[in-house]
Amino acid sequence: MFHRQDLPGARRIVVKVGTSTLTYGTGKLNLEQMEKLVRQVADLANRGYQMILVSSGAVGAGMGRLGLREKPKTIPEKQACAAVGQGILLHMYEKFFAEYGHVVAQVLLTRDDLASRKRYINGGNTLEALLRMGAIPIINENDTVAVDEIRFGDNDTLSALVASLVSSDVLVLLTDIDGLYTANPRTDTQATLISTVEAITPEIEAMAAGAGSDLGTGGMATKIQAARICTESGIAMIIASGAKPDVLREIMVGQEIGTLFLPQAKPLPGYKRWLAFGSTCHGRIHIDEGAVQALVSGGKSLLPCGIVATDGLYHSGDLVSIIAPEGYEVGRGVSNYAIEQVRRIMGRQCMEIESLLGSKDYDEVVHRDNLTLTIPRQIGCSS
Ligand X SMILES: N[C@@H](CCC(=O)OP(=O)(O)O)C(=O)O
Ligand Y SMILES: Nc1ncnc2c1ncn2[C@@H]1O[C@H](COP(=O)(O)OP(=O)(O)O)[C@@H](O)[C@H]1O
CA distance linking residue 73 with residue 153, whole number of Å: 14
Task: Answer yes or no whether residue 110 interacts with ligand X by CB under 6 A.
Answer: no
Burial of 48 (0-12, 13-18, 19+ CB in 10 A): exposed
81 or 183, CB closer to ligand X?
81
Task: Answer yes or no whether residue 124 interacts with ligand X by CB under 6 A.
Answer: no
- Whether 351 has a binding-site annotation, put simply, is no
Instruction: List residues near ligand Y by CB under 6 A.
Output: 18-21, 175-177, 180-181, 183-186, 207-208, 210, 212-213, 216-220
CA distance linking residue 227 with residue 208, whole number of Å: 12
Nearest to 208 by CA among 239, 183, 178: 183
Give, in degrees to the nearest 5, the angle at Cα 112 between 56 and 199.
65
CA distance linking residue 267 with residue 264, whole number of Å: 6
In the range 215-274, which residues lie near ligand X by CB under 6 A?
216-218
- Whether 294 has a binding-site annotation, put simply, is no
Asked if residue 92 lies in contact with residue 29, where contact means CB atoms within 8 angstroms, the answer is yes
The binder of 278, among ligand X, ligand Y, none, by C-beta within 5 to 8 A per type, is none
Asked if residue 165 lies in contact with residue 127, where contact means CB atoms within 8 angstroms, the answer is yes
The binder of 143, among ligand Y, ligand X, none, by C-beta within 5 to 8 A per type, is ligand X
Task: Answer yes or no whether residue 57 interacts with ligand X by CB under 6 A.
Answer: yes
176 or 329, CB closer to ligand Y?
176
In the range 343-382, which residues lie near ligand X by CB under 6 A?
none
18 or 62, CB closer to ligand Y?
18
CA distance linking residue 354 with residue 348, whole number of Å: 11
140 or 321, CB closer to ligand X?
140
Nearest residue to the partner ligand Y, using Cβ: 18
Q: How far is the CB of 111 from ligand X (least distance, A)?
A: 12
Q: How far is the CB of 19 from ligand X (least distance, A)?
A: 3
CA distance linking residue 329 with residue 19, whole number of Å: 33
Measure CA 230 to chain center.
7
| Residues at the contact surface with ligand X, assessed by CB under 6 A | 18-20, 56-60, 82, 140-141, 143, 154-155, 216-218
Binding residues for substrate, by number, are 56, 143, 155
Residues annotated in a binding site: 16, 56, 143, 155, 175-176, 217-223
